[in-house]
């Protein structure tokens, strides 16, 4: 079939009716067409870019039963709930289902009325499942998180490898791979592994204009994370930590500060994990503190902040994890608290896990290469939007993004950085380059610790040279010098600080040094932040959020399945009560209007009466956020 058989108008019709969106985002149209024409495709879009719609619309429009391969059961369930709430018939089949439920779903599939069948890869490749798909004559497969098939990706999963057989088993069906990982190598690997034929490769823009990126020197992690969380009272926040123990300590510290926070990691009992995840999805919990294991199983679209308490181990991870913020297209911030110490911690973790697996230390090379890219991203004060987009091989047009710490001019240098650096370096020299950062710090601060006294370092001229500096700030400065290669740190179990040629240049005053610190001034609002709140009655918005939470609880579904924040903000702007003005709100389709229009309408009428406001404000047209408008 050619493009002309699916004019844009026809594609938009179900998009409006079921999803309540009146336009498609960049790349969505092409990806949907590939699905309709059943031409193999690889669709690369950042997290939050809107991949799901690309495989959902063709099945609905062509009235097919398409299969979606998805790695996580929790995510599948949410997708099915979400689709049903929009009036699209979808089911999921996975191993955690009791036999009766499975039989029920299988008979639903046999009717041919299901539009989407979500399957875990290991289930799909079973004889029983393959036969069932033969019987219904499946015409198209969508593979979500397709990078999991590639060794070159950051999330390889063995069960995905079996998908290589799909093309042989169903030569008549098209395969559509979706991923947020953009490296050329992974993309090629997906094509090869899946045996795609003449695939359309569609790569969307990697920029997420609604996200503000901040990379801040970490001087007091607990305090700094708590400050960001406080900026987002009663909003969804994800904090990423490096280890399980870290997540527990961080969650406890945030709770002590009055925040509603819980930890989440792979070492927890499945029940406890599910409870935490459900509480977060149902908006009973605001802050989740997690290791990398968390994320793929959560689909809450109104996450307003993603905080990295430590540096992630690759830019890919950073992009994926920060991608969880602002998936509804509204403003959100991503804050990374960075210290060079993180790099050392990852390095020793890589080495340890290689040793445990009986592998040679060189096998950590690829991991180290990714780690150093991440270190460069964190350590170089250049526009973060640009750096990310360029890392993924695209060009960035804007000079000033207006949405990162660098462009917003939030990074601040220490006034006397060169002098401070000289003091640190000369102290390293005085202790004969035989001590680590902790001890050097103690000497500079003038502490009389046991070790300082034992080595008679209280008699050194550098003892107390930086007295009065906060210990954590000083440690951070030492790591900044290491990051900038102005100071070396030896490998091994007891690393010591060593000078190099650059250190000597600094000490001789032949080189100036820049050391950064968190700026104490209050943060400016970004243009995006202001625009997305324009005309919104905040009190009404909060009241609609409460209503949403109540309904979600009653129905036992995640709150965003009801409406997402972008939709509620539009409602709090337009105050719709008529059918027409409700349908004009982004995210309200016919099914949801019939289902929820009355109860939300009543709340809006009551609110307007109480506050003497007009309803159906046609002046305040629903606003497309920049992410959606382009
Ligand atoms: P991805 O799978 O790429 O991470 P999703 O498919 O979950 O992203 O979409 C992210 C968000 O964007 C969802 O809340 C979805 O409802 C919304 N969205 C997708 N397409 C559109 C569109 N054309 N207009 C408005 N919102 C959209
Ligand atoms: Zn910028």
184-196: pLDDT as tens digits:
888 899 999 999 9
Output the CA 442–ligand 2 centroid distance in Å.
37
Output the CA 341–ligand 2 centroid distance in Å.
25
Q: What pLDDT is attached to residue 629?
A: 35
Distance CA 292, CA 546 (A): 30
Task: State mean pLDDT over 161-172.
Answer: 91
Task: State mean pLDDT over 535-563.
Answer: 92
How far separated are the first and last CA of the chain, in Å rounded?
28
Tell me the per-residue pLDDT of 429-447, one tens digit each, with 9 for 90 and over: 999 999 999 999 999 999 9
Q: What pLDDT is attached to residue 296?
A: 55
346 has pLDDT over 90: yes
Q: What pLDDT is attached to residue 449?
A: 95
Tell me the per-residue pLDDT of 27-42, one tens digit each, with 9 for 90 and over: 999 999 999 999 999 9
Query: What is the share, in percent, of the chain residues with pLDDT greater than 90?
Result: 65
Higher pLDDT, 134 or 625: 134
The residue with tokens 């000490």 is 507
Other C-beta atoms closer than 10 Å to the C-beta of 4 total: 6
Q: Whose alpha carbon is nearest atom 12 of ligand 1? A: 50
Q: What pLDDT is attached to residue 525?
A: 78
Longest C-alpha distance within the chain, in Å?
Answer: 86
Structure tokens of 577? 């009560």
Task: State mean pLDDT over 354-358.
Answer: 91
Task: Name 111's Cβ contacts closer than 8 Å, sequence gap at least 6.
Answer: none
**Which numbered atom of ligand 1 lies nearest the CA of 52?**
6
Residues paired with 332 in a beta bridge: 211
H or E segment at 560?
Answer: helix 559-562
* Ligand 1 pocket: which of 118, 327, 569 to mutate (most atoms within 8 A of CB): 327
Distance CA 481, CA 440 (A): 13
Q: Which ligand is nearest to the CA of 86?
A: 1
Q: What pLDDT is attached to residue 618?
A: 59
Ligand 1 within 6 A of 21 CB? yes
Q: What pLDDT is attached to residue 628?
A: 38
Task: State mean pLDDT over 539-543.
Answer: 95
Query: What is the share, in percent, of the chain residues with pLDDT greater than 70?
Result: 96
Structure tokens of 257? 């500060």
Ligand 1 within 6 A of 52 CB? yes
Query: Under DSSP, is residue 412 helix (H, G, I), strand (E, B) or coil?
Result: strand
Q: What pLDDT is attached to residue 293?
A: 64
**Which numbered atom of ligand 1 lies nearest the CA of 323?**
4
84 has pLDDT over 70: yes
Tell me the per-residue pLDDT of 304-321, one tens digit each, with 9 for 90 and over: 999 999 999 999 889 889
- Among the residue ranges 161-175, 242-256, 498-512, 604-618, the one predicted with the least confidence is 604-618
Q: What pLDDT is attached to residue 624?
A: 44
Q: What pLDDT is attached to residue 587?
A: 93
Higher pLDDT, 581 or 520: 581
- Among the residue ranges 129-133, 231-235, 236-240, 491-495, the one predicted with the least confidence is 491-495
Q: What pLDDT is attached to residue 75?
A: 79
Q: Is the domain covering 211-410 a CATH 3.40.50.300 domain?
A: yes
Distance CA 200, CA 37 (A): 11
Q: What pLDDT is attached to residue 630?
A: 34
Q: Which ligand is nearest to the CA of 24?
A: 1
Distance CA 70, CA 120 (A): 5
Task: State mean pLDDT over 288-312.
Answer: 84
Structure tokens of 330? 């509204």
Tell me the per-residue pLDDT of 69-82, one tens digit each, with 9 for 90 and over: 998 777 788 889 99
335 has pLDDT over 80: yes
**Which numbered atom of ligand 1 lies nearest the CA of 15?**
23
**Which numbered atom of ligand 1 lies nearest the CA of 144?**
2
Q: Closest Cα partner for 560 from 86, 7, 119, 10?
A: 86
Ligand 1 within 6 A of 532 CB? no
Ligand 1 within 6 A of 208 CB? no
Other C-beta atoms closer than 10 Å to the C-beta of 544 total: 23
Distance CA 476, CA 58 (A): 52
Q: What pLDDT is attached to residue 622?
A: 52
Per-residue pLDDT band for 294 (boundaries 50, 70, 90) equals low
Ligand 1 within 6 A of 558 CB? no
Q: What pLDDT is attached to residue 2?
A: 47
Q: What pLDDT is attached to residue 412?
A: 84
Ligand 1 within 6 A of 75 CB? no
Structure tokens of 217? 């020197």
- Among the residue ranges 243-247, 248-252, 327-331, 453-457, the one predicted with the least confidence is 327-331
Q: Whose alpha carbon is nearest atom 5 of ligand 1? A: 50
Per-residue pLDDT band for 55 (boundaries 50, 70, 90) equals very high
Task: State mean pLDDT over 460-480.
Answer: 93
Output the CA 19–ligand 1 centroid distance in Å.
10
Question: How many CA atoms does the CB half-sphere of 194 hold within 13 Å?
Answer: 30
Ligand 1 within 6 A of 53 CB? yes
Q: What pLDDT is attached to residue 295?
A: 56
Task: State mean pLDDT over 523-542.
Answer: 86
Output the CA 626–ligand 1 centroid distance in Å.
13
* Ligand 1 pocket: which of 50, 69, 182, 302 to mutate (most atoms within 8 A of CB): 50
Task: State mean pLDDT over 244-265.
Answer: 95
- Among the residue ranges 120-129, 254-263, 442-451, the one predicted with the least confidence is 120-129
Distance CA 17, CA 271 (A): 37
Q: Which ligand is nearest to the CA of 215?
A: 2
Ligand 1 within 6 A of 567 CB? no
Q: What pLDDT is attached to residue 154?
A: 64
Superfamily (CATH) of domain 533-611: HRDC domain (1.10.150.80)
Dihedral sign, Cα of residue 86, residue 88, residue 89, residue 94? negative
Task: Name 189's Cβ contacts closer than 8 Å, sequence gap at least 6.
Answer: 149, 150, 151, 152, 153
Per-residue pLDDT band for 297 (boundaries 50, 70, 90) equals low
Q: Which ligand is nearest to the CA of 410?
A: 2
Q: Which ligand is nearest to the CA of 396?
A: 2
Distance CA 119, CA 100 (A): 17
Q: Which ligand is nearest to the CA of 628?
A: 1
Average pLDDT, the chain: 90
Task: State mean pLDDT over 207-226.
Answer: 93
Query: Under DSSP, is residue 383 helix (H, G, I), strand (E, B) or coil?
Result: coil
627 has pLDDT over 50: no
Domains of the chain: which residue ranges? Answer: 3-203, 211-410, 413-514, 533-611
Q: Closest Cα partner for 563 from 52, 85, 61, 6?
A: 85
CATH of domain 3-203: 3.40.50.300
- Topology adopted by domain 413-514: Arc Repressor Mutant, subunit A (1.10.10)
Ligand 1 within 6 A of 326 CB? no
Compute the CA torsion angle 433, 439, 441, 447 (nearest 10 deg).
-130
Residue 390 CA: distances (Å) to CA of 178, 207, 385:
21, 10, 9
* Ligand 1 pocket: which of 30, 32, 53, 68 to mutate (most atoms within 8 A of CB): 53
Per-residue pLDDT band for 619 (boundaries 50, 70, 90) equals low
Ligand 1 within 6 A of 55 CB? no
211-410 and 533-611: identical CATH topology: no
Ligand 1 within 6 A of 628 CB? yes
Residues paired with 127 in a beta bridge: none
Q: Whose alpha carbon is nearest atom 27 of ligand 1? A: 50
pTM: 0.82
């Amino acid at each position: 079939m050619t493009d002309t058989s699916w004019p844009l108008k026809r594609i938009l019709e179900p998009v409006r009716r079921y999803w309540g969106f009146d336009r498609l985002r960049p790349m969505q149209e092409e990806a949907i067409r590939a699905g309709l024409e059943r031409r193999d495709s690889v669709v690369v879009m950042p997290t939050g870019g809107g991949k799901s719609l690309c495989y959902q619309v063709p099945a609905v429009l062509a009235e097919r039963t398409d299969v979606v391969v998805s790695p996580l059961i929790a995510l599948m369930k949410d997708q099915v709930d979400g689709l049903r709430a929009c009036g699209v018939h979808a089911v999921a089949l996975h191993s955690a289902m009791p036999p009766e439920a499975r039989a029920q779903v299988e008979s639903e599939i046999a009717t041919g009325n299901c539009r989407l069948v979500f399957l875990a890869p290991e289930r799909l490749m079973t004889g029983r499942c393959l036969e069932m798909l033969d019987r219904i004559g499946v015409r198209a497969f969508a593979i979500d998180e397709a990078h999991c098939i590639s060794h070159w990706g950051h999330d390889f999963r063995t069960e995905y490898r079996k998908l290589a057989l799909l093309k042989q088993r169903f030569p008549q069906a098209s395969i559509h791979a979706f991923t947020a990982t953009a490296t050329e190598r992974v993309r090629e690997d997906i094509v090869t592994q899946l045996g795609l034929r003449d695939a359309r490769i569609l790569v969307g823009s990697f920029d997420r204009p609604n996200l503000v990126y901040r990379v801040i020197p970490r001087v007091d992690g607990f305090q700094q994370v708590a400050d960001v969380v406080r900026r987002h009272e009663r909003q969804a926040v994800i904090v990423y930590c490096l280890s399980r123990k870290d997540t527990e300590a961080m969650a406890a510290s945030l709770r002590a500060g009055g925040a509603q926070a819980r930890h989440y990691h792979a070492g927890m009992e499945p029940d406890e994990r599910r409870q935490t995840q459900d509480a977060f999805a149902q908006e009973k919990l605001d802050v989740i503190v997690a290791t990398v294991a968390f994320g793929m199983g959560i689909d809450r679209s109104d996450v307003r902040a993603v905080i990295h308490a430590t540096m992630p181990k690759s830019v890919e991870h950073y992009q994926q994890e920060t991608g969880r913020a602002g998936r509804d297209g509204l403003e959100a911030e991503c804050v990374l608290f960075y210290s060079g110490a993180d790099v050392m911690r990852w390095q020793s973790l890589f080495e340890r896990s290689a040793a445990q697996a009986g592998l040679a230390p060189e096998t950590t090379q690829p991991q180290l290469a990714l780690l150093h890219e991440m270190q460069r991203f964190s350590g170089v004060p250049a526009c973060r939007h640009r750096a990310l987009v360029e890392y993924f091989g695209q060009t960035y047009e804007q000079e000033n993004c207006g949405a990162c710490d660098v462009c917003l001019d939030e990074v601040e240098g220490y006034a006397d950085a060169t002098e401070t650096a000289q003091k640190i370096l000369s102290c390293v020299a005085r202790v004969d380059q035989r001590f680590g950062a902790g001890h050097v710090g103690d000497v500079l601060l003038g502490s009389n610790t046991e070790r300082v006294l034992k080595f008679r370092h209280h008699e050194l001229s550098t003892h107390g040279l930086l007295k009065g500096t906060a210990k954590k700030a000083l440690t951070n400065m030492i790591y900044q010098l290491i990051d900038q290669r102005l100071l070396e740190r030896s490998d091994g179990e007891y690393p010591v600080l060593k000078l190099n040629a650059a250190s000597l240049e600094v000490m001789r005053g032949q080189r100036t040094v820049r050391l950064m610190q968190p700026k104490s001034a209050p943060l400016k609002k970004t243009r995006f932040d202001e625009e997305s709140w324009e005309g919104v009655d905040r009190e009404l918005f909060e009241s609609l959020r409460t209503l949403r939470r109540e309904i979600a609880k009653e129905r036992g579904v995640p709150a965003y399945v009801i409406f997402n924040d972008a939709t509620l903000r539009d409602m709090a702007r337009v105050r719709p009560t008529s059918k027409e003005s409700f349908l004009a709100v982004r995210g309200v389709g016919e099914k949801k209007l019939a289902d929820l229009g009355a109860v939300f309408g009543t709340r809006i009428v009551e609110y307007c009466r109480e506050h003497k406001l007009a309803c159906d404000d046609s002046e305040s047209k629903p606003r497309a956020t920049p992410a959606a408008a382009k």
